[in-house]
Structures are given as structure tokens and as C-alpha cells.
């Protein structure tokens, strides 16, 4: 009998953490209180009360918040309004594969700036690339990076903020994992360091449920107005009943306890994964994330993605192709993203054992 | 004391028709039955059971259905996948203003084909334009047209189907009002006449509630797959809890009774509007819709939009600028769209009286 398949490709929460009953109650309360708004056309950048709530959380006015149908789509609107075909766009190397794809779809020339160590990208390389040409925008995942799990240091955030202001380019700071910190100390957001140059993007996908597709962006009033105009032209208004549901959830004070509950589920999974790597893959190197969803593993020399994934498939282990995360694909030939939240500690342990036998 | 404002700009249902309590019950039932799908990432063209349900309704497989966050956004995906900048796109003249805007955003050269009488566009002009250059796509609202309320005749649908097949261009048939027929007989959809060349787009905005932003498209398997790929790249998956809610509503057999209830509300509003036009605006001409949301009025010569709207504002009457509905704006200088569903019969009567005093 075949062993159960272990899937290490999924950057998604396990469904058993969804607070379904609370969400049902919140949907009911929201729709009953405000049906004329939530069920009607809303030619606006999101449900007003939720924009207000988010604005208070970030210490800004609601006019600095746009809520859309996923942070990814908000990023796609940013590529369409901030970029022209042929413009340069900088990303960390590696970075989120879907973002790289959207930048290319918008016609951008995507330049990967390598990460170094665990503190974020190589600023010297960034400065060299800026001499070759200032990008229209730079995309960064500053907290618990996807796919490596690393967090940009405060020092590097300061340099990035200075460079964006000095050269006049936009930074999109994608921050869906920031509140899922299992150890260590918060670092100030890049947005807080350069609020005139940073669009801070986040979502409820990792804190509540991805199916809501509820993403948002915090930024300067004029930049938000430009994104809002593009959004209204695209779909008139975003889906509203789910925004009402999430507003009610937040208003009732349920978000923070849910985040604490998620941390209790995910923290031991991170610990198990790090310990299993230590025991089973001593010749590999890996990152030591303090939060989020991923560990980035660099396999020993002599391995390559194509044969490894085929062999893994044979022993019931599904792996992501590391090359998809790199602007220059070949750079990812020994890179493995380990998503530790979507699997149980037992599955992580078993997955690392199977992987070790292949290397 | 100022008289109450009468707003004749809104192409939206009045909020008092929303079946709020049924929708609340359906959200609860759907989320409780299928939380692992509705709250999770769904890298798919919509919620599977709703695609199946719609497929059965149209007599096609689920692989011919894509559900998205509004039919407008689906149209925007169509412009991005079917059109290249500089391509020609044909629309009826007048047509839906937001569609014209999206075509222009995609870089299309928009050509308006005039409507003639109440049976649809002027086919002779269309044939002349085809000689000048075949469009990448043609956008039509065949049933209860926005903004004129007219319905394309079967004969013209047949000619359109033939021409699309002969010249090899796509037709997007936008059909949100089709099921809101208050009199007369259904005409077969253009899609049913040329299924290989037509993308039939519709939504639940007018049948249930616009805030759901639940639109869909029926088309050939390959065209749907292309749109689905673009959609997944844009937002991974659409908002799902609302799709679950609507599926449950349909599954319970609530949609058809709701449509019948809406017809009972809207039919007398259409009759009142037609009668008020007859009594108060004898020198204007107007269409005689058998369904939908709009009557198209052509004002007597000597009127123009800029001064009329300013004067109307002074007597508490808000009017849409007719020029926005025409590819060539000046053609709409005497055109008025009367949306009769969003206002009560008393408001329609009063609105037409105020309008008559201005002309």
C-alpha cells in the first residue's frame, strides 16, 4: 500500500483553523445591520466602516486605505498604474512567483536583487542596479519573506527608505505574514519609514481565511485615489458582503484572539520543521524564520530541481519548483520552499525523512 | 422648502428588493456545509457547484463557465486577452459607458455602430465598417439594452452570428437584464446562434443584489480556459463565500420566485414611465422596452445636455449625461437614459413633470 502523500507545495492555511462559526455569525450580523450598502453597488475603494477600522489601526485616515478582492489583484492594479511596458521593476531574488508573473504581464523588465544572509537583500547590489536604471517600482516582502522566511533588518529598511526617497521610486511592501510572529521582536514597517514612497499591502488571507480574497493597501492619499479609480473602472466596487463580515469580526474584537490561536498552532510546526532539518538534512543550509509560513532550504551541491521533484513524486512527496521564485530561474535549481503551516508536525517529520533519503 | 431630489442617474435596483433574510440563511447553510472550499484559496474559475448549476441552466459543461467578481471585470479580462492596443472594437451606439471606457483603457479603437429603430443595430453600417477593418471583438447588449432598453431582433441576431463566423471576430453578448422581461416573447440568445464566436456574459446583480459582484461568462471551452488563466494570474481565485451563498440560493429554488417578484415590482414602473412620457413629453421620442431597467429618450431639437442637466439640478432632478453612452460623444447631446426601476412610480411621474417644464 502506498504511503500517504505529503504535499509541501501549498502556501495556504490548513482548513481546520478557519473560524467558520464566528464568520457565519458575523456575516449574519453585518448583512442584517447594513444590507442597503453591502448588497448594493458601491463605487468605492471598499466598505467604509472597514476602511475606517483599518485606518485607525494604521493611524491614518480612511482615504489612505483601499480594500480590494485580494492583495494580489491590488498589486496587479499597481503594476497597471505605476508601470509602463519596458520599465524596470526590482524584486528580491528569490521572491513570490505570482508577483514576478504579474510584473512580466505588465511588460516590466524584472531585475532580481539577491538576498544575503537572513537580514534582507544585498544593498550594494541594489545600489549598483540603481546606477543602471531607476525602477518604476520595487516589490519587497519585508516580514517572513515568501519563499525564504527571512525578515529585512531595520538597518536595511532604513537604507531602502532613503534610496526610494532619493531616487523617487515606489516600493510595494507586501506584508501578509507580519502579525504571525512566533518569536523575536517586531521591526518597524518600511511604510512607517517612508510613507510617501511605500504602498503597504496586506490581507486577511493568512489571519482569517484566503477564500474571502480580502486584501488592502495603505498609502499616500493621491496614490490610493489613483488605484481606486483604476479599481472602479475595473469592477465598479469590490465584493462587499465579505467585507461586511470581516468588519464585524474585527469590530467584535475577534481578530487578535484568532491571531494568538493561529500562533499556537503554527509555532510548534516551525520548531518541528527546523529540528527535522537539523536531524535529517545536515548537509543542506536553511533559514531560521521567526514567523510566517516558510523556511527556505538550499540543497547540497549536486542536486537539481527536475530530477529531485520527479524522485520525490515517486515516494509520495510533492515539492515546489524552486526556480519559479527567481527572476533568473536557474538560480533556484537547488532552492526548496518548505511551507510548514499547511502540514501537521508528523507530516513535516515524515516529509523531511523522505527528502533526506533522496539527497 | 426644497422638493425632494429625484435621481434619474442610477442603473441599480432599489435596496428594498434585496432578499436579505434569504441570503443570510443561504450564507449560513453554504459556509457550514463547505467551509474547506469556500474559505480556502480556490485556483479555479469559480465555485464548482455554482459552475455546474449554471452549466446545466445553459445546457453546457462546467468547463464552459467562468464565474468572477462582476461581469464588468470579466469583460475587462476579455479586453486584455482578446484585444491588442490599436485593434478595432465595435459597440452599439449608444452603449454602456463603462464598457467603452474599458475598451479604451485596453487601447482599442472604439467604433460605434448606430442602433436603428427598436430592433437593434444598423446591419448595413456594420457591413461597411467590416470592410474598413474586422474588429478584435464586438460588444452587444442584445436584451433590454443599456441605455436604450431595446432588444435585438431575431433576424439581426442571425445576421450578426453569420458575420461573426464569416469574418472570425468575437462577440461579447452582455445579458444582465434578459430574465427581467415584463411582456412579449424571449428571443434566442446570440450565443445560442453562434456558440463558437460568442462569449455570453451575465450576472446576479439585477436578479439578486449588485454588492455580490457575481458575474459569469458562458463560452467555448478554450476561450473560458484562456480567461481563467488570466483570472488566476490576477487574483488566484474569486471571492468564494458569496458564490457559495448564491449557489445555495439557486439550489433551494429561490431564484425564479425572486425574479417573478422583481417583475411585479418593475413592470408597473415601466408602465408608469411610458405613460408619463406620453402625457408630459409629447415632443420627445422614446423606446418601448419589454423588460430591463431603461427607457431611451431622444429630446426635441434645441436641447443640449450641458444646459439641461444644469437646469434640472436646480429643480432637484438628477440626469445622466447622454453623451457618455456614445463612442462619439456629441451624438448623445439630446439622449436621456431613464432608469425606471430604481425609483417609485410617484417619483417617475414627478420626475417627468419636472423634466417637461424644462424643455
| DSSP codes, B261-314 | HHHHHHHHHHHHHHHHHHHH-TTSEE---SBSSEEEEEPPTT--HHHHHHHHHH
What is the mean pLDDT of the segment spanning B326-346?
94
Return d(Cα A205, Cα A215) in angstroms, integer.
8
What is the pLDDT at residue B253? 98
pTM of the model: 0.96
Helix (H) or strand (E) holding B243: helix B241-251
Q: Which residues in chain A have their CB less than 8 angstroms from residue B36's CB? A: 15, 18
Residue B187 region by backbone torsions, left for phi larger than 0, else alpha for psi between -120 and 50, else beta: beta
Mean pLDDT of chain B: 96
Kindly tell me the burial class for residue A330, based on how many C-beta atoms sit within 10 Å of its own C-beta (0-12, 13-18, 19 or more): exposed
Residues 46-75 on A with a CB inside 8 Å of B are 69-70, 72-73
For A148-181, the DSSP string reads: T-----HHHHHHHHHHHHHHT-EEEEE-TTTT-B
Q: What is the pLDDT of residue B190?
A: 98
Give mean pLDDT, residues A321-327: 93
Question: Per-residue pLDDT averaged across B275-287, rounded?
Answer: 96
Which residues 108-127 in chain A show a CB within 8 A of chain B? none
C-alpha cell at B291: 423588460
The mean predicted confidence, pLDDT, of chain A is 96
Q: Would you call B241 and A37 a contact, using CB atoms and an 8 Å cutoff?
A: no
- For chain B, positions 187-226, list CB contacts with chain A under 8 A: 205, 209-214
| CATH top-level class of B6-17+256-358 | alpha beta
Nearest CA in chain A to B80: A105
pLDDT of amino acid A2: 61
For residue A307 the three cell numbers come to: 530530477
pLDDT in tens, A163-172: 999 999 999 9
pLDDT over 70 percentage in chain B: 99
Nearest chain A Cα distance for residue B120, angstroms = 27
Query: Does residue A84 sit at the B interface (CB-CB below 8 Å)?
Result: no
The answer, yes or no, to whether residue B327 has pLDDT greater than 80, is yes
- Residues from chain A that touch B210, judged by Cβ atoms under 8 A, are 39-41, 236
- List the single residue in A with minimal CA-CA distance to B35: A20
A212: nearest CB among B32, B213, B239? B239
Q: Where are the beta strands (DSSP E) in A220-353?
A: 285-286, 294-298, 317-319, 335-339
What is the rounded distance in angstroms from the CA atom of residue A326 to the CA atom of residue A334? 11
Does A40 contact B15 at a Cβ distance shorter than 8 Å? yes
pLDDT at A335 (0 to 100): 96
Q: Minimal Cα–Cα distance from B252 to chain A, Å?
A: 19
Q: Are B11 and B146 in contact (CB under 8 A)?
A: yes
Residue A44 or residue B144, greater confidence = B144
% of chain B at pLDDT higher than 90: 95
Calculate mean pLDDT across residues B43-69.
96
* Cβ A295 vs Cβ A11: under 8 Å: no
β pairing state of A317-319 and B109-114: unpaired
The verdict on a CB contact (< 8 Å) between A241 and B238 is no
| Residues on chain B touching A236 (C-beta within 8 angstroms) | 70, 72, 98, 210, 213
**Of the candidates B31, B40, B73, which has its C-beta nearest A24's C-beta?**
B31
CA A319 to the chain's CA centroid: 19
CA–CA separation, A156 and A138 (whole Å) = 14
**Residue B10: per-residue pLDDT:** 85
Q: CB count, 10 Å around CB of B214?
A: 29
Of A107-116, A229-238, A258-267, B324-333, give the lowest mean pLDDT range.
B324-333
* Tens digit of each residue's pLDDT (9 = 90 or more) over B139-181: 999 999 999 999 999 999 999 999 999 999 999 999 999 999 9
Side-by-side strand order, sheet with A198-203: A65-69, A214-218, A198-203, A170-174, A137-140, A88-93, A109-114
Averaged pLDDT for residues A46-61: 98
- The alpha carbon of residue A70 is apart from the nearest alpha carbon of chain B, in Å, by 6
Are B121 and B86 in contact by the 8 Å Cβ rule? The answer is no
B229 interfacial to chain A (CB closer than 8 Å): no
In three-state secondary structure terms, A189 is coil
- pLDDT tens-digit map of A270-314: 999 999 999 999 999 999 999 999 999 999 999 889 999 999 999
Contact (Cβ atoms closer than 8 angstroms) between residue B91 and residue B241: no
CA gap B137, B82 in Å, rounded: 7
Closest approach of B282 to chain A, Cα-based (Å): 34
Count chain A–chain B contacts defined by CB atoms under 8 A.
Answer: 156
Separation CA A58–CA B33 (nearest Å): 36
Between CA A75 and CA A71 the distance in angstroms is 6
Q: Which residues from B are below 8 Å from A31, CB to CB?
A: 20, 23-24, 27
pLDDT number for residue B1: 46
| A54-71 confidence digits (pLDDT tens) | 999 999 999 999 999 999
Assigned C-alpha cell, A57: 489601526
Contact B104, B123 (CB under 8 A): no
Report the distance separating Cα B41 and Cα B21, nearest Å: 27
Chain B residues whose beta carbon lies within 8 Å of the beta carbon of residue A32: 20, 24
A37 touches chain B (CB under 8 A): yes
Pairwise CA distance, residues B196 & A147, whole Å: 42
Convert A283-304 to b/e letters by CB count within 10 Å (16 or more is b).
ebebbebbbbbbbbbbbeeebe
Residues in CB range of B310: below 8 A, 6 or more apart: none
B267-272: long-range pairs with CB below 8 Å, 24+: B267/B182, B267/B183, B268/B345, B269/B340, B269/B341, B269/B343, B269/B344, B269/B345, B269/B348, B270/B182, B270/B295, B270/B340, B272/B340, B272/B345, B272/B348, B272/B349
Architecture (CATH level 2) of domain A20-251: 3-Layer(aba) Sandwich (3.40)
Task: Give the whole-number percent of chain A exceeding pLDDT 90.
Answer: 96
Shortest distance, CA A73 to any CA of chain B (angstroms):
5
Residues of A in contact with B212 (CB under 8 A): 39, 239-241
Q: What angle do CA B204, A29, B51 make, to 5 degrees?
A: 30
What tens digit of pLDDT does each residue of A68-109 get?
A: 999 999 999 999 999 999 999 999 999 999 999 999 999 999
Looking at residue A1, its pLDDT comes to 46
Asked if B258 contacts B19 with a C-beta cutoff of 8 angstroms, the reply is: yes
Name chain A contacts of B81, Cβ cutoff 8 Å.
none
Q: What is the secondary structure of B12-58 as a DSSP string? A: S--GGG--HHHHHHHHHHHHHH-HHHHTS---SSS-HHHHHHHHHHH
pLDDT at A15: 92
Segments making up each domain of chain A, as ranges = 6-17+256-358, 20-251
Amino acid at each position: 500500500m502506498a504511503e500517504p502523500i505529503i504535499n509541501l507545495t501549498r502556501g495556504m492555511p490548513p482548513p481546520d483553523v478557519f473560524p467558520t462559526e464566528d464568520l457565519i455569525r458575523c456575516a449574519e450580523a453585518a448583512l442584517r445591520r447594513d444590507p442597503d450598502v453591502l448588497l448594493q453597488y458601491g463605487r468605492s475603494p471598499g466598505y467604509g466602516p472597514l476602511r475606517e477600522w483599518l485606518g485607525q489601526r494604521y493611524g491614518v485616515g480612511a482615504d489612505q486605505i483601499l480594500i480590494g478582492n485580494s492583495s494580489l489583484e491590488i498589486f496587479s492594479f499597481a503594476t497597471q498604474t505605476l508601470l509602463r511596458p519596458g520599465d524596470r521593476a526590482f524584486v528580491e531574488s528569490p521572491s513570490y512567483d505570482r508577483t514576478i508573473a504579474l510584473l512580466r504581464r505588465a511588460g516590466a523588465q524584472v531585475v532580481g536583487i539577491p538576498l544575503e544572509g537572513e537580514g534582507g537583500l544585498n544593498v550594494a547590489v541594489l545600489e549598483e542596479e540603481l546606477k543602471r536604471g531607476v525602477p518604476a517600482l520595487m516589490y519587497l516582502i519585508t516580514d517572513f519573506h515568501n519563499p525564504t522566511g527571512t525578515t529585512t533588518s531595520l538597518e536595511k529598511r532604513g537604507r531602502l527608505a532613503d534610496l526610494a526617497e532619493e531616487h523617487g521610486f515606489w516600493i510595494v511592501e507586501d506584508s501578509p505574514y507580519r502579525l504571525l510572529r512566533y518569536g523575536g521582536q517586531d521591526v518597524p514597517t518600511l511604510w512607517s519609514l517612508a510613507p510617501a514612497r511605500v504602498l503597504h499591502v496586506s490581507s486577511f488571507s493568512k489571519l482569517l481565511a484566503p477564500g474571502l480574497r480580502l486584501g488592502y493597501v495603505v498609502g499616500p492619499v493621491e496614490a490610493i485615489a489613483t488605484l481606486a479609480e483604476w479599481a472602479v473602472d475595473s469592477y465598479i466596487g469590490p465584493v462587499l458582503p465579505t467585507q461586511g463580515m470581516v468588519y464585524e469580526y474585527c469590530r467584535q474584537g475577534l481578530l487578535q484572539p484568532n491571531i494568538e490561536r493561529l500562533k499556537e498552532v503554527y509555532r510548534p510546526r516551525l520548531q518541528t520543521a527546523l529540528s527535522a532539518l537539523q536531524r535529517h538534512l545536515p548537509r543542506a543550509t536553511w533559514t531560521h524564520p521567526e514567523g510566517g509560513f516558510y523556511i527556505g532550504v538550499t540543497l547540497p551541491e549536486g542536486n537539481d530541481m527536475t530530477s529531485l521533484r520527479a524522485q520525490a513524486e515517486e515516494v509520495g512527496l510533492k515539492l515546489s519548483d524552486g526556480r519559479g521564485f527567481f527572476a533568473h530561474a536557474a538560480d533556484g535549481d537547488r532552492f526548496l520552499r518548505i511551507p510548514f503551516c499547511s502540514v501537521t508536525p508528523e507530516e513535516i517529520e515524515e516529509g523531511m525523512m523522505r527528502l533526506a533519503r533522496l539527497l
